[in-house]
Amino acid sequence: MTLIKSISGIRGTIGGAVEENLTPIDTVKFAAAYGTWLKQQRNKDNYRVVVGRDARISGEMIQNLVMNTLVGLGIHVIDLGLSTTPTVEVAVPMEHADGGIILTASHNPKQWNALKLLNHKGEFLNGAEGQKILEIAESNDMHFAEVDDLGKITKNDAYIDLHIDEVLDLPLVNKKAIEDANFKVVVDGVNSTGGIAIPLLLERLGVHPVKLYCDPTGHFPHNPEPLKEHLGDLAEAVVKERADLGIVVDPDVDRLAFMDEKGEMFGEEYTLVACADYVLSKNPGNTVSNMSSTRALRDVTEKHGGTYEASAVGEVNVVELMKKNNVVIGGEGNGGIIYPELHYGRDALVGVALFLSLLAEKKMTVSELRASYPNYYMSKKKIQLTPGLDVDGILNTMESNYSHEKLTTIDGVKIDFADSWVHLRKSNTEPIIRIYTEAQSHEEADSLADRFIAEIKAVANI
């Protein structure tokens, strides 16, 4: 059982001992720290926070604890109930709220839950803001409202529809071409809120959705991370239904992956590549993804005359660099599309609309579309270290050993070779080093990863 407190929020497993798991006491404490921090940002008479959750089993309990803690601080709550992460992000500025909380553990199994925290723009907090909330939680310096000043809870279940309205109003979403294409799509909603939002979006686009695991019970029918090894049922359904493609999202609908008409994965890394290809063809400009994302985005960006730059891993880092570079589209290689025209957050709904627009305009199958992009293959491995080892020292040595190569060191060490790259970064929560590699074949990517694992072991004497 686990409780992880970090600058990006608090996450853990349900049940067990206080301060070792995400118990009701830990939930209340962290929600109170966030509410206290929020009130410190602006001197106002009224404060408002948007709260939504994915469909996981513990969600209703955790949401009630969070909302009533905010009420106890004198903060008014807009309760979206079952929602998606990007929907809450869109709702915060639309409600002129002071912040938002999403209750989701993303792709983690059903025993996990988490509080993800937003600012008044509907964007994730930065490191300094997250650290301040951790400090407030540890200090217990929180003061609650008197009885006449308690907040109120207002339910609003319209925001998934409003979010879809915002997506459909985007100039680059080609609704007519999509409707004319008469697509048939199988949707794996992993029995969470994607099973609500994605079929609704498809119907509004004139697409025929076939629902697979779209009942928002929170009982995930398979590992909820949208990877090939978890999606055998989707592959079978796409072929059986003779569908044009399959769509799968994670439980909070900020990650998106596609499956072609043959039941083969389009490639989660290529979700952003395809959406960027479409957007850049209409609106040339620059792109950003994180350092562990595919080089194919750089290739597509340069094809359209733009410049690509990589950020440190983490959505907040991607967004910061996107704003700095004034990019037209960006995101993360795990299927996270960030389209600033709508909002600065990973959003599977906008990703679906842009991808289908591209597919409809090109009049080709999903497998043909995938074949039109450069072929890169990734390997993701890790090396377990003995607790107490100087991980930073190990990475510094690796940096020194490869100083003659093109290096990026804003987040661990990334080494760019002519036809491949390797990214070495330490975990913030475990004594491990993660090794991400990309090359022009699976064998080359795996071989490169194994080579660096051996080199790290030699440096660390393990």
What is the 3-state secondary structure of 432-456?
A: EEEEEEEECCHHHHHHHHHHHHHHH
Is residue 18 domain-shared with residue 101, that is, in the same domain? yes
Mean per-residue pLDDT for 83-106?
97
**What does the pLDDT look like over 399-412, one tens digit per residue?**
999 999 999 999 99
pTM for the whole thing? 0.95
Is residue 12 domain-shared with residue 131, that is, in the same domain? yes
Mean per-residue pLDDT for 369-389?
91
Is residue 138 domain-shared with residue 241, that is, in the same domain? no
pLDDT at 462 over 90: no
At 9 the pLDDT is 83
**What does the pLDDT look like over 117-140, one tens digit per residue?**
999 999 999 999 999 999 999 998
**What does the pLDDT look like over 148-199, one tens digit per residue?**
999 999 999 999 999 999 999 999 999 999 999 999 999 999 999 999 999 9
At 132 the pLDDT is 96
Which of 312, 338, 372 is the C-terminal boundary of a domain?
Answer: 372
Report the candidate in 124, 380, 170, 200 with the shortest Cα–Cα distance to residue 275.
170
At 8 the pLDDT is 74
pLDDT at 312 over 90: yes
Q: Is the dihedral of CA 98, 10, 132, 395 positive or negative?
A: negative
Mean per-residue pLDDT for 276-305?
97
CATH of the domain at 404: 3.30.310.50
pLDDT band (50, 70, 90) for residue 55: very high
Is residue 20 domain-shared with residue 78, that is, in the same domain? yes
Cβ-based neighbour number of residue 396 at 10 Å? 14
pLDDT at 429 over 70: no
Is 357 assigned a catalytic role?
no
pLDDT band (50, 70, 90) for residue 385: confident
Sheet of strand 336-338: strand arrangement: 308-311, 287-290, 329-332, 336-338
pLDDT at 28 over 80: yes
Is residue 45 domain-shared with residue 60, that is, in the same domain? yes
pLDDT band (50, 70, 90) for residue 386: confident
Mean per-residue pLDDT for 98-115?
95
List C-alpha distances in Å: 362 to 180, 274, 351, 399: 13, 12, 17, 44
pLDDT at 1 over 70: no
Is residue 346 domain-shared with residue 446, that is, in the same domain? no
CATH of the domain at 356: 3.40.120.10
Contact 84, 254 (CB under 8 A): yes
Is residue 226 domain-shared with residue 366, that is, in the same domain? yes
Q: What residues contact 146, with CB distance under 8 A and at least 6 apart?
A: none
Report the candidate in 236, 272, 278 with the shortest Cα–Cα distance to residue 254.
272
Is residue 135 domain-shared with residue 37, that is, in the same domain? yes
Mean per-residue pLDDT for 103-107?
94
Residue ranges with strand state E in 104-251:
112-118, 153-155, 184-188, 208-212, 245-249
Which of 92, 124, 156 is the C-terminal boundary of a domain?
Answer: 156
Is residue 382 domain-shared with residue 357, that is, in the same domain? no
List C-alpha distances in Å: 211 to 1, 229, 252, 348: 33, 20, 17, 17
Task: For tokens 């389209």, name the residue.
Answer: 339
Which of 114, 139, 156 is the C-terminal boundary of a domain?
Answer: 156
Is residue 382 domain-shared with residue 368, that is, in the same domain? no
Is residue 65 domain-shared with residue 188, that is, in the same domain? no
Domain containing 396 equals 377-460
The amino acid at residue 289 is: S
- Split into its structural domains, the chain has a count of 3
At 2 the pLDDT is 79
Catalytic residue among 8, 106, 292, 293: 106
Mean per-residue pLDDT for 368-396?
92
Instruction: Spell out a b/e string for 235-256, using b for 16 or more CB atoms within 10 Å of the CB, else e.
Output: bebbbeeebbbbbbbbbbbbbb
Is residue 360 domain-shared with residue 385, that is, in the same domain? no
- Percent of the residues in the chain that have a pLDDT greater than 70, as a whole number: 99
